[in-house]
């Protein structure tokens, strides 16, 4: 084989190898920073303030604390108890009261670091739940079927009590009174969302949380 042909084959093989390595390098994911708690990590915090939908307004600040340690990609530990600052993004009163909480900063090594996260749950709080994808916290109101059952049950109890004291007329009046009380109770069950001080919130990081050097 002529020397020139050998050189051309060698050059072609070199270019194929070069471009192959280059393509692989472009397809490989970028290295993840070592001193971060990675995006997607879920953890629990505890409120240091009470948040009551009858009182708080959009923009009101609140404080919380990290309730469990966080671990970075290189094994560093962020101790529980770190302070967290946030604010109320929205409050929606009504039959199904809702509230959206946003997070601003977390204290790390005596400096405040931006915290981008979303509430994903309210563990241990019966009747409260996370709604939608924006971290809304809502009260689980009674369904129409549950309200109807409550009214029927209230009417039955009222009728029984009224009949004891006033016969059939008392039973009728008691049934009406019992149904009305049950309806009011069912309606009020959807109101007043109160997150007491110490309430635990499950939170998900929406962006890597960088840990400053000591």
103 within domain boundaries: yes
pTM tops 0.75, yes or no: no
Same domain, 52 and 128: yes
Q: What angle do CA 146, 151, 157 make, to 5 degrees?
A: 125
Are residues 58 and 108 both part of a single domain?
yes
Share of the chain above pLDDT 90, in %: 39
State residue 173's pLDDT score.
Answer: 47
pLDDT beyond 50 at 143: no
In a domain, 160, yes or no: yes
Are 199 and 93 found together in one domain?
A: yes
Host domain of residue 159: 142-189
Domain of 71, CATH number, reads: 2.40.128.260
3-state SS track over the chain: CCHHHHHHHHHHHHHHHHHHHHHHHHHCCCCCCCCEECCCCEEEEEECCCEECCCCCCCCEEEEEECCCEECCCCCEECCCCEEEEEEEEEECCCCCEEEEEEEEEEECCEEEECCEEEEECCCCCCEEEECCCCEEEECCCCHHHHHHHHHHHHHHHHHHHHHHHHHHHHHHHHHHHHHHHHHHHHHCCCCCEECCCCEEEEEECCCEECCCC
Question: Do 157 and 101 share a structural domain?
Answer: no
- Residues 124, 65, single domain; the answer is yes
Query: Is 22 domain-assigned?
Result: no
Which of 58-67, 121-130, 148-157, 205-214: highest mean pLDDT?
A: 58-67
Number of domains the chain is built from: 2
Asked whether residue 93 is assigned to any structural domain, the reply reads: yes
State mean pLDDT over 142-155: 48
Q: Has residue 62 got a pLDDT over 80?
A: yes
- On whether residue 200 sits in a domain, the answer given is yes
Q: Is 102 within a domain?
A: yes
Statement to judge: residues 158 and 180 lie in one domain? yes
- Answer yes or no: is pLDDT of 70 > 60: yes
Q: Average pLDDT for residues 26-31, to the nearest whole number?
A: 60
User: Are residues 60 and 118 located together in one domain of the fold?
Assistant: yes
Q: What pLDDT is stored for residue 149 in this prediction?
A: 54
To the nearest whole percent, how much of the chain has pLDDT over 70? 53
41 is a domain residue: yes
Domain assignment of residue 28, yes or no: no
**pLDDT band at residue 92 using 50, 70 and 90 as cut-offs:** confident
**What is the pLDDT, as a whole number, of residue 213?**
77
97 and 177 together in one domain: no
pLDDT at 126 over 60: no
99 and 173, same domain (yes or no): no
Pair 85, 147 in one domain:
no
Tell whether 135 and 146 lie within a shared domain.
no
Choose among 73, 48, 53, 76: nearest CA to 205.
73
Q: Are residues 78 and 180 in the same domain?
A: no
- Residue 130's pLDDT band, with cuts at 50, 70 and 90, is low
């Amino acid at each position: 084989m002529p020397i020139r042909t050998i050189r051309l084959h060698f050059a072609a093989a070199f270019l194929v190898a070069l471009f192959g390595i280059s393509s692989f390098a472009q397809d490989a994911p970028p290295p993840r920073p070592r001193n971060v708690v990675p995006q997607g990590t879920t953890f629990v915090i505890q409120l240091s303030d009470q948040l009551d939908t009858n009182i708080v307004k959009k923009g009101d600040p609140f404080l919380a604390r990290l309730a469990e340690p966080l671990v970075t990609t290189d094994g560093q530990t962020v101790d529980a108890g770190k302070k967290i600052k946030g604010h109320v993004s929205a409050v929606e009163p009504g039959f199904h009261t809702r509230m959206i909480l946003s997070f601003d900063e977390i204290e790390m090594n005596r400096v405040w670091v931006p915290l981008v996260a979303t509430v994903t749950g309210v563990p241990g709080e019966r009747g409260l739940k996370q709604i939608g994808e924006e971290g809304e916290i809502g009260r689980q109101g009674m369904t129409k079927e549950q309200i109807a059952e409550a009214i029927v049950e209230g009417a039955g109890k009222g009728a029984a009590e009224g009949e004891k004291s006033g016969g059939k007329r008392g039973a009728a009046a008691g049934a009406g009174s019992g149904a009305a009380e049950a309806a009011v109770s069912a309606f009020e069950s959807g109101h007043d969302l109160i997150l007491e001080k110490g309430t635990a919130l499950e939170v998900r990081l929406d962006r890597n949380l960088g840990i400053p050097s000591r």
